[in-house]
Copies of this chain bind each other. A is one copy, B any other.
Amino acid sequence: MLVVMEKNATSEQVEAVIHAIENCGFTARPIPGGDRVSIGVLNNDGPVDAGLFISLPGVKDAVAVTKPYKLVSREVQPENTVVTVGEVSIGGGVPVLMAGPCAIENESQALTIARHVRAAGAQFFRGGAFKPRTSPYSFQGLGEEGLKIMARVRAETGMPIVTEVMNETTFDLVEAYADIIQIGTRNMQNFTLLRRAGQSAKPILLKRGMSATLDEWFMAAEYILEGGNINVILCERGVRTFVRHSRNTLDLSAIPVVQRESHLPIIVDPSHAAGRREQVAPLARGAIATGADGLMVEVHHTPEKALSDGAQSLLPDQFAHLCRQVRALHEVLATV
């Protein structure tokens, strides 16, 4: 942190700031400038609260210089984290494909879709058993019955499953069934859930919050790593902006920045970003070409009858075409 003094700050004011910094146990390093003095705050362990200094007399601003995260930082771990589930690696250089319906509706629906997406090349089956819904009147998912159906789909197709956990009460249950546990957008800063995820032996897929900065997202992942679970996969799914032509604005610039700042893999969910089928495949291709480590895509064979998110689900044929494009993009970018 750098504490910037006003141009006309007195030397007594500068001294008082130095004293305040040292009182917190940090080291103060004054930096006389042309116009004004700034004072560096050094030897802090963890983030420094700007509020400790910003309201002292003569202080103009307090500017954060270093990042608050540690364990997720590439400065701490230079090599990529590769999350392995069965025979599939996430973050290992080949894009991974997770696909399935928004919500598990019944066994026939789940199996039908799973067979389609496996045939198209998906490595993971995704589906929701516990569904966070904006309206209390909307379908809330099948709950444990949905998890059991997913387990049967796994037994039948061999695909590991990704499903969302909504709260700590059902965490053990979801953990018992899932191969990868998803923490959703609305729970990215549910710190109780993050702490519980930190104690899990299963990989965690952590979706970015609707209006989360990368620092906030990294800090949410830090909760999980700090708890001892190093298998975290980040998932960009669009952020809320003034834009209305897509449900959310997919922020593909997060991919190169995450890959520079952190060692964790990052995949992209184009379905929730788009909210409309015709944008999904273009954005999915864009994500892969930008460098994403994988995709999570909603697929439904009868989207007009889906109990949720039908509008953004690809049809099986569309998904199969997308898979061919993803493989071709990956191959060409690996060689050019």
Contact = CB atoms under 8 A, between A and B. Distances in A.
Interface of A: 2, 4, 6-8, 20, 27, 29, 31, 33-36, 38, 40, 42-44, 46-47, 49-52, 54-56, 61, 63, 65-66, 68, 75, 132-138, 166-169, 186-187, 189-193, 195, 209-211, 213-214, 216, 219, 222-223, 226, 239-246, 249-257, 260, 273-274, 276-279, 282-283, 285-291, 303-304, 306, 308-312, 321, 324-325, 328-329, 331-333, 335-336
Contacts of A213: 242-245
B239 A243 contact: yes
A187 B189 CA distance: 8
A197 to B, nearest CB: 12
Q: How many copies does the complex hold?
A: 4
Interface centre among A42, A193, A336, by most chain B C-beta atoms within 10 angstroms, is A336
A286 B254 contact: no
A245 B254 contact: yes
A49 B288 contact: no
A19 to B, nearest CB: 11
B246 A136 contact: no
Contacts of A47: 135, 137-138
Contacts of A222: 135-136
A105 B213 CA distance: 29
A191 B169 CA distance: 13
A255 B282 contact: yes
B310 A49 contact: yes
Given A134-B189, A167-B192, A246-B257, 19 more contacts: A4-B65, A31-B31, A34-B42, A49-B308, A55-B303, A56-B304, A133-B191, A136-B195, A186-B191, A210-B211, A211-B211, A239-B249, A243-B251, A249-B249, A249-B251, A253-B273, A285-B290, A289-B289, A321-B336
B51 A311 contact: yes
Contacts of A274: 253
B38 A65 contact: yes
B242 A240 contact: yes
Nearest to A26: B34
Q: Which of A29, A136, A138, A311 has the most CB of B within 10 A?
A: A136
Contacts of A252: 250, 252, 282-283, 286
A282 B306 contact: no
Contact of A290 (B56, B283, B328): B283
Nearest to A187: B190
